Amino acid sequence: MRTLEWDREHQQLKMIDQRALPGELKWLTLSTHLEVAECIHTMAARGAPAIGAAAAYGLALAAARSRAANAESLKQELRQAAARLGATRPTAVNLAWALKRVMAKSEGFAGSAAELAALTLAEAERIANEDVDANERMAAFGAALIRPGETVIHHCNTGALATVDWGTALGVIRKAHEQGKGIRVLVDETRPRLQGAKLTAWELQQYGVPFEIISDNAAGYFLSRGEAQRVLVGADRVAANGDVANKIGTYMLALAAHANDVPFYVVAPTSTFDHAVASGKEIPIEERDPAEVLELEQDGMRVAPAGAQARNPAFDITPHTLVTAFVTENGVVYPPYEKTLRELKAGQ
C-alpha cells in the first residue's frame, strides 16, 4: 500500500494523514498545491522522501488546476507553486530536490499548457516510482548487514509512511524480518512528536516484527548493557562530508552507540545527499512551535508549568565521524566519506 498516490480519475492526490495514527488510518484527498503545502507544514505528510514526492505531486496539482492559456503562463504559476511548497520545511533536502527536478523539466519544455501539465504529472509519478524502487534496493543492502537474532535500535519513523512505500531504515528492518532473521526492535519514542511510538510501532505491528517502545533517553542504557547490536536511522539531509541532519535525538543516539562500539548506520537514498553543502554546519535547522513541547500531557494534565518557555529544534547534526556506514540504493558506503560520497555522486 502506497502512502500517497495520484487519483487519475479526479486529478487529485490521496495520502495517509499521519497525524491520525495509530488510532485511525485516515486518507486525505488533496485538490490544490496549497493543500499539499499545508499537509507538509502540519506534518500530515512527513519523512524526507515522502514530502519530496508530495511536493512534486503538488506541482502536478497546480498544473492540473491551472487555467493558463499557454505554457509560459503555466510555467510562471508553477514557479510560484514551487516557492510556496519549498518554504514549508527547510531542512529535508528531498523537498527542494524534487521541486527542482520537476521545474527543470518544466523550464526546458516547449509545447502547449496541456502538454506541460501532463509532463509535470509524469515527472511526479516518476519520482514516486523511483522512490519505491530505491527503498527496496536499500532494504536488500541493509538487511545483509543484520545478523540473525540481533536487536536493533531505531529512531523516529523511516518506514513506508516516511516514503512512498517500503521505507529507508525501517525498510531494512522489514526486509531482515521477512528473511527470517528473528530480529527485534527497540523503538525510540522520538519526542516531542513521538513519531517512533505512534508511527514506527504501528508499522512494525503491521509487519509482525517483535518490538518494544523505549524512551529516547533509555537507548544508552540498553546499548551499554549489550542489549542492542545495531542502530539504524534515516536522514533528512547528508552533507558532502557525511554529516547527517536527522530527527532531533539522533546525535545523542550516535554518541551512545559510538561509546559502546555499536555500529550506527544511516539509511538514505542518494536524493538525500546534498553535495552542495560542505558540512552539517551549513544545514538550516527548523525550529518548530514550542507548544509541541509545552503542551505534552500526562494523565490528562499538562506537564510543563504555566508560563514556561521551550526550545524545539526539529533536527540535529550527527558528525560523520560517528557514522559507521551509509546504506543507499547503490550499495553500502564506508569512510572516508569525503572520498566515497564523491565517488557515489560520480556514479549516479
DSSP, residue by residue, 315-340? EEEE-GGG--EEEETTEEE-S-HHHH
pLDDT tens over the chain, length 348 residues: 799 999 999 999 999 999 999 999 999 999 999 999 999 999 999 999 999 999 999 999 999 999 999 999 999 999 999 999 999 998 888 999 999 999 999 998 989 999 999 999 999 999 999 999 999 999 999 999 999 999 999 999 999 999 999 999 999 999 999 999 999 999 999 999 999 999 999 999 999 999 999 999 999 999 999 999 999 999 999 999 999 999 999 999 999 999 999 999 999 999 999 999 999 999 999 999 999 999 999 899 999 999 999 999 999 999 999 999 999 999 999 999 999 999 988 876
Task: Let me know: does 56 contact 97? Beta carbons within 8 Å.
Answer: no
Which amino acid would we find at residue 34?
A: L
What are the structural domains of the chain? Answer: 4-135 (1.20.120.420), 138-346 (3.40.50.10470)
Residue 250 belongs to what H/E stretch? helix 250-259
Helices then strands (H, E): number in the chain? 12, 16
DSSP string, 126-159: HHHHHHHHHHHHHHHHHHTTPPTT-EEEE-S--B
Catalytic (active site) residue 236: yes
Whole-number Å distance between alpha carbons of 327 and 338: 16
pTM (two decimals)? 0.93
Q: Among the options 188, 216, 236, 274, which is catalytic?
A: 236
